[in-house]
Amino acid sequence: MFSKILIANRGEIALRIQRACREMGIKTVAVHSTADADAMHVRLADEAVCIGPPSSRDSYLNVAAILSAATITGAEAIHPGYGFLSENAEFAETVEEHGLAFIGPTAQHIRMMGDKITAKTTMRELGVPLVPGSDGALPDLQSAREVAERVGYPVLIKAAAGGGGRGMKVAKTADEIEEAWTVARTEARAAFGNDEVYLEKYLNRPRHIELQILGDAHGNVVHFGERDCSLQRRHQKLLEEAGSPALTDAEREEIGRTSTEALARMGYRNAGTLEFLYQDGQFCFIEMNTRLQVEHPVTEMVCSVDLVREQIRIAAGEKLGYTQKDIKMSGHAIECRINAENPETFAPSPGTVNVFHAPGGLGVRMDSALYAGYRIPPYYDSMIAKLIVHAPTRQEAIARMQRALDECVVDGVQTVIPLHRKILADPSFQKGDYTIHWLENFVAAQTKS
Ligand code: MV4
């Protein structure tokens, strides 16, 4: 096992990783920008190294500075967290070339899944169900027309280098296909320097359901059930649940078996998430994330697993030590992301947090790097906390989240807590009756009335 790990991240996820390290007897190295000198992840680490000015490009994305920090402190492994360098194949490669362990998948698997066309082709060959569409990249407009006729309108043209909603264009009818083709290619070239595009049938009211996977370096792959992440606004998730209110145990077992078999055949190791659109009882794979996700705690709560500890053990070459039948989902978990934003306009609200009180009690978890007096810098993501609750049933989890939000005090900046209260009180949310479009419509209805 490693004796010292460098954590190439900031905020709540840096603390989350430090906590796992401390419980495993591993020393931690924090890295930080000059804007984060007073941050909690710096205070709580065993050692800290300043790696550059406020801009992420010059600090948390500065590969040379991070590797130097690892070398001078004698760290043996690097955990990238989420965002920043977590899905950068070159970074993973460089870390290993320097004789350090990258706590994540191989550079080859990161690269493979970073290209959405290669990801889909790979999954298709491994028997994972996909959205009907083109087999690989579209060579020309004519082939786009042909595939669209075959699968039926409406269709979506997506960038191979896209993901997370960037570089997508809908064509509702054949009249719109030329425009969608041209715009998608132009945007893809401008945004990613890669104009490869593919086509899918457009699903009109899916849920976004994702499956948490772990694989070790010995060929063992297991899953920890699904998360329902349909409640998003402009591709920013706001509230997530485990399990999905829409799935049956039989559906979970089937998609779990198909997915773990596929990833075992790929030789996938460490944590990964398969993203699906789920509509009319069908799962359609769309993308894979080759990292720990923001919303991993809801899975940890229902499966009683420490996913970060497992990531570290796997990177050190240890075996999982359990099989699929040992993993049981128990109860229901909900996560509310607390962003320092105006709850109506979503404009960022950086500034000083004068008063901070974290909720507590049975089944309540607050993952946050906040403290009273902390100045939220304007340079980074606006998420300042994740409030996670666990209870025997979904209904009890909703009541527990409402109670926990009532206890939570963040004074000095605006937060999205008032929006979470409204969502939790809504009858269709309470019934679990929602799709990926629900939140956008809900927010629009709130601002009208
Ligand atoms: C889709 C889709 C409908 N049909 N693909 C958006 C982000 C990217 N990860 C994939 N996305 C979508 N792909 C087909 N064939 C609708 C979306 C989509 C979406 C997906 C998940 C969560 C929120 C979303 C919001 C708008 C559109």
Claim to verify: residue 342 and residue 425 sit in the same structural domain: yes
291 catalytic? Reply is yes
Q: What is the mean pLDDT of residues 396-411?
A: 98
Does the Cβ of 156 fall within 6 Å of ligand 1?
yes
Q: What is the mean pLDDT of residues 423-442?
A: 98
Residue 258 lies in a domain: yes
Q: What separation in Å is there between the alpha carbon of 335 and the centre of ligand 1?
A: 21
Of residues 375, 427, 370, the one with CA closest to residue 398: 427
Of residues 145, 207, 252, 291, which has the active-site annotation? 291
Q: Is 99 left (phi over 0), alpha (psi -120 to 50) or beta?
A: left
CB-facing half-sphere around the CA of 236: CA atoms within 13 A: 13
Classify burial at 131, counting beta carbons within 10 Å of its beta carbon; exposed 0-12, middle 13-18, buried 19 or more: buried
| CATH classification of the domain holding 32 | 3.40.50.20
Does the Cβ of 200 fall within 6 Å of ligand 1?
yes
- Tell me: pLDDT of 233 over 80: yes
Claim to verify: residue 181 and residue 221 sit in the same structural domain: no
Asked if residue 89 lies in contact with residue 106, where contact means CB atoms within 8 angstroms, the answer is: no
Last residue of a domain, which of 160, 184, 201? Answer: 201
Q: What is the mean pLDDT of residues 255-275?
A: 98
| CATH classification of the domain holding 158 | 3.30.1490.20
Residue 107 lies in a domain: no
Please state, in angstroms and rounded to a whole number, the distance separating the CA atoms of residues 382 and 386. 12
Claim to verify: residue 82 and residue 216 sit in the same structural domain: no
Atom of ligand 1 nearest to the CA of 155: 15
Q: What is the mean pLDDT of residues 283-311?
A: 98
The pTM of the full predicted model, rounded to 2 decimals, is 0.97
For residue range 8-51, what is the model confidence (pLDDT) as tens digits? 999 999 999 999 999 999 999 999 999 999 999 999 999 999 99
Q: What is the mean pLDDT of residues 367-374?
A: 98
Residue 108 lies in a domain: no
Q: What separation in Å is there between the alpha carbon of 129 and the centre of ligand 1?
A: 16
Q: What separation in Å is there between the alpha carbon of 162 and the centre of ligand 1?
A: 12
Please state, in angstroms and rounded to a whole number, the distance separating the CA atoms of residues 335 and 367. 10
Ligand 1 pocket check: which of 116, 235, 287 to mutate, most ligand atoms within 8 Å of Cβ?
235
- Residue 162, pLDDT score: 86
Strand, helix or coil at 367? strand
For residue range 266-285, what is the model confidence (pLDDT) as tens digits? 999 999 999 999 999 999 99
Claim to verify: residue 197 and residue 216 sit in the same structural domain: no
Does the Cβ of 199 fall within 6 Å of ligand 1?
no
Mean of the per-residue pLDDT values of the chain: 97
- Residue 447, pLDDT score: 83
Does the Cβ of 208 fall within 6 Å of ligand 1?
yes
Q: What separation in Å is there between the alpha carbon of 264 and the centre of ligand 1?
A: 27
Claim to verify: residue 337 and residue 248 sit in the same structural domain: yes
Does the Cβ of 235 fall within 6 Å of ligand 1?
yes
Claim to verify: residue 177 and residue 242 sit in the same structural domain: no
Amino acid, single-letter form, for residue 102: F
For residue range 125-184, what is the model confidence (pLDDT) as tens digits? 999 999 999 999 999 999 999 999 999 999 999 999 987 777 799 999 999 999 999 999
What percent helix, strand, coil does the chain show, rounded to 5? 40, 30, 35
Range of the domain at 139: 132-201
Residue 362, C-beta contacts closer than 8 angstroms, at least 6 positions apart: 400
For residue range 180-211, what is the model confidence (pLDDT) as tens digits? 999 999 999 999 999 999 999 999 999 999 99
Q: What is the mean pLDDT of residues 343-352?
A: 96
Residue 106 lies in a domain: no
Residue 347 lies in a domain: yes
Strand, helix or coil at 335? strand
Residue with the smallest CA separation from ligand 1 atom 17 is: 165
CA 264 to chain centre: 21
